[in-house]
Chains A and B, each alone.
Chain A
Amino acid sequence: MITFSINGKEVQGQEGWTILEVARWHGIEIPTLCHHGALEPYGACRLCVVEVNDGKRSRVVISCMYPIRTGINVQTDTPRVLNVRRWIVQLLLDESPESPKIRELAQTLGVTPSRFQKKGVDFACHLCGLCVRVCQEVVGVQALSFSNRGLRKEISSPFHTASKECLGCGTCIYICPTGAMEQVFLRVHG
């Protein structure tokens, strides 16, 4: 049994659990975009940052992948955490200005688009990869993948053609938090 504290509250957990899991179990909400109970943690969105103090020094880490340790002191909403989270939302907003989830987050955190915002995007996807992972981990096929890199990164089927692997089960549309998958699904399923 590992004992540590979140926001001053003493909590317990087992070897291998992550901070996010323990926090949620105790009703402490930490915002996430790419985390889902059915899938392995992925650490893509970095939104779930928390401040971890192990007595010697304090660090900002992502809670969805950080394994709990005895004696650490976790803070989920210090000014430092909020500042980092605002910066992350700023970058995400510039990357995916049309995503409803990210717009909502930006509004609550008071983030506005910067001058580096991606222009000409009419697509809500924010590249959390839930669809790609659910297709592989749960459905058991690989009909979806990321393609391209950097600014041109997108979700598509291999070679941008209708995938023969796709079962048409629609799990990707179900898990998509932005609704962008509806369009991609049409292309992938063919």
Chain B
Amino acid sequence: MNTESKIGIFLCECGGKISSRIDLPQVCEQLRYESWDHLGVYPYPCLAPGIAAMRQEVEAKGLNRILVAGCSSRVMKKRFPNALASVGVEKYQVEMVNLKDHVAAVHEGTPQELARKAAALIAGSIANLKLLEPYEPVPLNFEGPALILGGGISGFAAARELAHQGMECVLFSRALTPERVLDELYRTFPGCRLFCGELGELFREVFAHPLIKVMPDQPIDYIIGGVGDYRVGFKGPDATVTEVAGSAIITALDREFAGADTDYLGGGERVCDLLDLEERLIEGDDSDFKPGKMLFWINSPEHGQAAQEMATVAAWRDSLVLAREHPQVKSTVLYPANVRLPLTGADLVEARAHGIGLQSYAPEVHPVVLSGYLTYVNPSDHLEHELAWDNLVVSAVPGEPVAKSQELLRWLPIYPENGGALKKSHVKFWPDQVPDESLFFTGSAGGLCDLNEVLQQGKKAARGVLRLREKALEGRLVSPVVVQVDKDLCEGCGLCTEICPCGGIEHVKPGSVALPREADNHLCTGGGTCAATCPYEAVRVLNNTAQQLEARIKALLGRMQADEVLGFVCGWGGLASAEQAAVKGLTYNKGIYLIPVNCLGSLDPFILSKAFLSGAKSIMLAGCTPTHSCHYAYGVDHCWHRVNVVKKLLSLAGLERRRLAMGYVEVNEPESFVSMVESHMDGMEKLPPLPQDDKTKARLWAIHATLHRPRVRWVLGTSLRRPTEKEFPGSQFNAVDADDTMLDVLREEFLAARIIKALGDQLLNPPGIARIMEEPVKNITPLLPDMASEGRITLKSWEGGYPIYAVGKA
């Protein structure tokens, strides 16, 4: 692969949409002294004649980096790589600068002014492209059975589907006979055990099939490996660990229903919930059911309509079983009118035949339970009616995901959302774009749904595994390289594994020594928060590295004016709303230069300090809303912490904290983005640019050096929210104390960095250092011996009763 970079820049006129607002010949003129191998202006690079012209240039000049300056990369990301693949240009070698939506359509100003901005953005991209590295995907093996963990019902459907297609699988289940599975089913899917005739067939087939191995479910000790080669350790009752290897993991997790609070209603034996009733139906005989009226009341609107719908079906099925097996009991189902009655016409005919009443009530007026009666308002006549009962059955509470989930959450990239539902980490978006399903998560723990849907989910997951196997057989299953861990730098601290939301960084067996991590790029979503966290800077996102970003902002800042502002936008909320502003015809201050990043969580804090060091006046960051819309679990959240640390350092250095501002915006809120930019720019107008004197420079240098210190990065990393944590760290118990600890560490390290800067390459005694730093001597003297013992400075000699220090080891 050609490693020497040959950059081709293609400027798009977009049929006048860009060329009428930006003076493109002027852009070319300003880029004249940048290093490129081709630079040209094209009317429509995206149409066939444009593509042909690009191909021609690529072939004639051997270009291996393509920069298209035109419109949104979100829309065009496939067009150019696909079209240029035939001339040997790889997907990662194509980059886009959005002149239309970031410059032409959103700013007022002359074409010449906008040309300067366009040239600056392009120069930044050129600096980024120069540092691209060749990249070769790694082929994967895919051998061994699929492992079905979690014990959910969907696992059975998945196992059968896999077996039918001739793939081996191992199913871990708490119940070890088909009958037992059926008996336990009511806890997760009330009303299904007694009704689904085919379900018994499914379980019997799974237990009997030669390709399916059913193993008792034991506590999981570890899950290691990656797609194609997973190893799961199970802890036996005698603490021995057995390892099972497999090619893929299907996680089937359900939600367990809990009993309703029937004590609240009183009534003793006569009032029960659906779960109690089902237990009696399974175990009891005819004598348990005395003749009388049984009323199923679908209550608890607080659990949502889906839960009420499921409860209605469960009640209907139970009443049908009662009618068939215990005809002395007459059942009525009272359901809220806002729920669509999920029954078919045939069901209704059957209900009439068995004399089962189905009655809706107006949900606005809560029914009242009386002894032997229940009053409700009929939605058709708005009159209050009464229903007599001898036994009252209320619906069960859809509880938490099964206990097994907690165990698996530790190892798999699944995390709980607000509201208790589990969610798997987001589909891959970069660099392979298409959601490549390689983690299969099924069951009602992900969202309340009925049995049929859960079984379908299981089947779908199995098909996903089969697709992976098919790909592997054809030799097409490759692992893209997204994240690399430098084994020499890695100390095996495991911080990256802890905060990784996608499970892309490999887990290490518990109890083993600190081992260098490895990345499973099949699961990696490219959020990059691991790279920004690593205390030793050993993790990097390939072709999206901090070094590239540093080069980019340096090139960009070199062309920006002193009062202009740098803006980072995340690839989702920030970028999308910025581009949407252009589509909507909104305009904003042209003094902000937007740099898109995949996720704000991938921004290393030292990028921010580097920007200040390179002369940025202020920085604005725009990301998704942390509570619900970040596409990388808690990327924005992590960024907030890092911004906070940089702000602390700014105030330690005596600079304005508000030079750094963070904003949150949704994909479809361009107005919010514009007001965010305007507000920040207005605030900044009153501030002068950062002073360029030596004192300020030395302090900015010290901020930058502080953010490279493993100790600072470690403390920062440990305070970030983990993907399994539900609580926002801002609301933690000891927020102020935690922040104080952080501040202490920063104060110490910042001072140490300033001492090193003051020493430079001189030999100085403490008063000498203090004079340069303009600090009292007593502030720095306690730190010097510590720094000497750490090897950051050396005690060279003694002179006049003072130690003489120099930078570096002895």
Do A and B originate from a single complex?
Answer: yes
Given contacts A37-B46, A140-B435, contact A168 B583 (CB under 8 A): no
Whether A151 sits at the interface, judged by CB under 8 Å, is no
**Does B79 sit at the interface, judged by CB under 8 A?**
yes
Instruction: Decide: A24 near B75, CB < 8 A? Known: A17-B49, A170-B667.
Output: no
Residues of B within 8 A of A24 (CB): 15, 43-44, 47
Chain A positions within 8 Å of B78 at CB level? 38, 137-138
Smallest Cβ-Cβ distance to A139: which chain B residue: B433
Residues in A whose Cβ lies below 8 Å from that of B631: 167-168
B207 contacts the other chain (CB 8 A): no
Query: Across the two chains, which residue of chain B brings its CB closest to A134?
Result: B75
662-705 of chain B: CB within 8 A of chain A: 667-668
Cross-chain contact B426 with A174 (CB below 8 angstroms) = no
Q: Is B548 an interface residue (CB 8 A)?
A: no
Task: Let me know if A54 is at the binding interface, CB within 8 A.
Answer: no
Q: Is the CB of B572 within 8 A of A169?
A: yes
Give A158-181 interface residues, CB cut-off 8 Å to B.
167-171, 173-176, 179
**A77 within 8 A of partner (CB):** no
Please tell me if A21 contacts chain B, counting CB pairs below 8 Å. yes
Residues of chain A within 8 A of B48, CB atoms compared: 13-14, 16-18, 21
Chain A residue with the shortest CB-CB distance to B52: A14
Chain A CB within 10 Å — which of B50, B75, B584 has the most? B75
Tell me which residues across on chain B come within 8 A of A36, comparing CB atoms. 75
Decide: A21 and B79 in contact? CB cutoff 8 A.
Answer: no
Please give the distance in Å from B363's CB to the nearest CB on chain A: 21
In the complex, what residues of B have CB within 8 A of residue A21's CB? 44, 47-49
Residue tally, chain B, CB below 8 Å to A: 33
CB distance from B742 to the nearest CB of A (A): 33
Q: How far is the CB of B59 from chain A (nearest CB, A)?
A: 15
B772 to A: closest C-beta gap in Å: 52
* Ranked 6 nearest A-B pairs via Cβ: A37-B46, A170-B667, A140-B434, A170-B576, A25-B49, A21-B47
Q: With A25-B43, A168-B629, A179-B584 given, is the CB distance from A138 to B77 under 8 Å?
A: yes
- Contact residues, A12-60 vs B (CB, 8 A): 13-14, 16-18, 20-22, 24-27, 29, 36-38
Contact B668 A185 (CB under 8 A): yes
- Point out the residues of chain B lying under 8 angstroms from A137, CB to CB: 78
Given the complex of chains A and B, what is the CA–CA distance between A155 and B52 in angstroms?
34
Interface residues of B in 550-603 (CB under 8 A from A): 572, 576-577, 579-580, 583-584
**B411, CB-defined interface residue at 8 Å:** no
Taking a contact as CB atoms under 8 Å apart, the answer to whether B44 and A25 are in contact is yes
Q: By the criterion CB–CB under 8 Å, are B572 and A168 in contact?
A: yes
Cα of A29 to Cα of B426 in the assembled complex, Å: 42
In the complex, chain A residues 114-144 whose Cβ is within 8 Å of any chain B Cβ:
134, 137-141
- Smallest CB-CB separation from B79: which chain A residue? A38
Chain B residues whose C-beta falls within 8 Å of the C-beta of A134 in the assembled complex: 75
For A170, the closest partner residue in chain B by CB is B667
Please indicate the chain A residues that have their CB under 8 angstroms from the CB of B74 in the complex: 138, 169, 171, 174
Say how far A142's CB is from chain B's closest CB, in angstroms. Answer: 11
B403 within 8 A of A: no
Which residues of chain B from 395 to 435 have a CB within 8 Å of any chain A CB?
426-427, 429, 433-435
- Contact with B579, one of A14, A26, A29, A174 (Cβ below 8 angstroms): A174
A42 CA / B790 CA spacing, docked (Å): 68
**Residue in contact with B75 in the complex, picked from A13, A16, A175, CB distance below 8 Å:** A175
Does A182 count as interface, using CB distance less than 8 angstroms? yes
| Contacts A38-B75, A138-B77, A186-B668 given; does A22 touch B49 at CB 8 Å | yes
Asked whether A138 lies within 8 Å of B75 as measured between CB atoms, the reply is yes
Asked if B435 and A141 sit within 8 Å, CB to CB, the answer is yes
- Kindly list 20 other residue pairs between chains A and B, CB separation below 8 angstroms, not including A25-B50, A138-B78: A14-B52, A21-B48, A21-B49, A36-B75, A38-B79, A167-B427, A167-B429, A168-B629, A168-B631, A169-B74, A169-B576, A170-B668, A173-B580, A173-B583, A173-B668, A174-B72, A174-B75, A174-B579, A182-B668, A185-B667
User: B residues engaging A (CB < 8 A)?
Assistant: 15, 43-44, 46-50, 52, 72, 74-79, 426-427, 429, 433-435, 572, 576-577, 579-580, 583-584, 629, 631, 667-668
6 of the cross-chain contacts (CB-CB < 8 Å) are: A13-B49, A25-B44, A37-B46, A169-B429, A171-B74, A173-B580
Q: Which residues of B contact A26 (CB under 8 A)?
A: 43
Known: A174-B579, A174-B583. A37 touches B668 (CB 8 A): no
Closest residue on chain A to residue B624 by CB atoms: A168
B756 vs chain A, min Cβ distance (A): 45
Question: Which of B47, B72, B78, B427 has the most chain A CB atoms closer than 10 A to its own CB?
Answer: B47
Identity of the chain A residue whose Cβ is nearest the Cβ of B46 in the assembled complex? A37
The minimal Cβ–Cβ distance linking A28 to chain B, given in whole angstroms, is 10
Give Cα distance in the complex from A173 to B136, angstroms: 34
A137 to B75, CA, bound (A): 10
Chain A residues in 8 Å Cβ range of B72: 174
Contact B46 A38 (CB under 8 A): yes
User: For residue B579, which residues in chain A have a CB less than 8 angstroms away from its CB?
Assistant: 174
A52 CA to B480 CA, complexed, in Å = 48
Q: How far is the CA of A37 from the CA of B43 in the complex (A)?
A: 12
Q: Which residues of A contact B668 (CB under 8 A)?
A: 170, 173, 182, 185-186
Cα(A73)–Cα(B577), bound, Å: 44
Nearest chain-A residue to B14 (Cβ)?
A37
Tell me the smallest distance from the CB of B87 to a CB of chain A, in Å: 15
Given A14-B48, A168-B629, also A37-B79 (CB < 8 A): yes
CB contacts (< 8 Å) of B49 on chain A: these are: 13-14, 17, 21-22, 25
Task: Enumerate chain B residues within 8 angstroms of A140, measured Cβ to Cβ.
Answer: 433-435
Residues of A near B47 (CB, < 8 A) are: 20-21, 24-25, 37
How far does the alpha carbon of A155 sit from the alpha carbon of B192 in the complex, in Å?
36
* Min CB–CB distance B426 → chain A (angstroms): 7
Looking across the interface, which residue of chain A has its beta carbon closest to that of B576?
Answer: A170
A63 to chain B, nearest CB (A): 12
Q: Separation in Å of the B607 CB from the closest CB of chain A? A: 24
Interface string of A89-128 (1 = CB under 8 A from B): 0000000000000000000000000000000000000000
A59 to chain B, nearest CB (A): 22
- Which partner residue on chain B sits nearest A185 by CB separation? B668
Closest to A14 in B: B52
The residue on B at minimum CB distance from A36 is B75
Question: How far apart are the CA atoms of A18 and B46 in the complex, in Å?
Answer: 13
Q: A29-B15, A168-B572, A168-B667 are contacts. A37–B76 as well, Cβ < 8 Å?
A: yes
Whole-angstrom distance between the alpha carbons of A140 and B631 in the complex? 17
Chain B contacts of A37 at CB under 8 A? Answer: 44, 46-47, 76, 79
Write out the residue numbers on chain A whose beta carbons fall within 8 Å of the beta carbon of B433. 139-140
A21 vs B46: C-alpha distance when bound (angstroms): 9
CB contacts (< 8 Å) of A22 on chain B: these are: 49
In the complex, residue of chain A having the shortest beta-carbon distance to the beta carbon of B446: A164
Q: How far is the CA of A26 from the CA of B49 in the complex (A)?
A: 10
Quick one: which of A14, A38, A134 has the most chain B CB within 10 A?
Answer: A38
Q: How far is the CA of A20 from the CA of B433 in the complex (A)?
A: 29
Q: How many whole Å from A124's CB to the nearest CB in chain B?
A: 13
Q: How far is the CA of A170 from the CA of B631 in the complex (A)?
A: 12
- A174 CB contacts on chain B under 8 angstroms: 72, 74-75, 576, 579-580, 583
Distance between Cα atoms of A20 and B49 in the complex (Å): 11
Which residues on the A side are within 8 Å of B76 (C-beta)?
Answer: 37-38
Expressed in whole angstroms, the Cα–Cα distance for A182 and B581 within the complex equals 13
Chain A hits for B584, CB < 8 A:
179
